[in-house]
């Protein structure tokens, strides 16, 4: 992104799905055909070149879902999701990013637990990459930098702080 470039995008959406397969907790648990599911909302994006080598991007999505003929909620669909990314490129060979992600609460289920509302969470990730040679890049990333305790799926806690080191050969 160049100096002082500034972009805003807003995208409303109105989707309708027919004959969707869903899990009904029962008892007994079973797959059911949902005749119609709607998902309506808006997505927004902001990109800004703050300085020559510093940029900021953000995104937000609001989604309202409805299963026709029932008051049940669609699983694994938070109403709110958004994030911010700050990127910096101090030299042509080095790039760094810090990203923040927010996910609102949502319904999930499993056979042992039944329906559960999973809590909202925020996660911060960071990474730095260095192009050592024209064809070699080294990277260090740290996922969940603030050790947030959350679940993306019921019964499976997300890992805590997770550092990663990688080397890539670029063709």
SS3 assignment for 72-114:
CCCCCCCCEEEEEEEEEEEECCEEEEEEEEEECCEEEEECCCE
Whether the full predicted model's pTM is greater than 0.85, yes or no, is: yes
* Residue-wise pLDDT tens digits, 79-102: 999 999 999 999 999 999 999 999
User: Please, which pLDDT band fits residue 149 given cuts at 50, 70 and 90?
Assistant: very high
In a domain, 1, yes or no: no
Check whether 49 has a pLDDT greater than 80. yes
What is the pLDDT of the chain when averaged over all its residues?
Answer: 93
Range of the domain at 34: 6-169
In a domain, 101, yes or no: yes
In a domain, 61, yes or no: yes
Determine contact, residues 140/165, Cβ cutoff 8 Å: yes
């Amino acid at each position: 992104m160049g100096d002082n470039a500034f972009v805003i995008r807003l995208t409303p959406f109105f989707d309708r799905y027919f004959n969707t397969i869903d899990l009904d907790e029962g008892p007994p648990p079973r797959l059911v055909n949902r005749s119609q599911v709607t998902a309506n909302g808006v997505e927004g994006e902001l990109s800004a070149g703050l300085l020559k080598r510093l940029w900021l991007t953000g995104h937000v999505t609001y989604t309202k879902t409805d299963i026709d003929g029932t008051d049940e909620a669609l699983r694994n669909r938070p109403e709110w999701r958004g994030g911010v990314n700050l990127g910096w490129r101090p030299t042509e060979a080095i790039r760094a990013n810090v990203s923040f992600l927010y996910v609102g609460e949502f319904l999930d289920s499993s056979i042992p637990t039944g329906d559960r509302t999973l809590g909202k969470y925020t996660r911060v990730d960071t990474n730095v990459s260095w192009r050592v040679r024209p064809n070699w890049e080294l990277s260090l990333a740290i996922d969940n930098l603030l050790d947030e305790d959350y679940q993306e799926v019921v019964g499976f806690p997300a890992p805590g702080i997770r550092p990663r080191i990688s080397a890539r050969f670029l063709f």
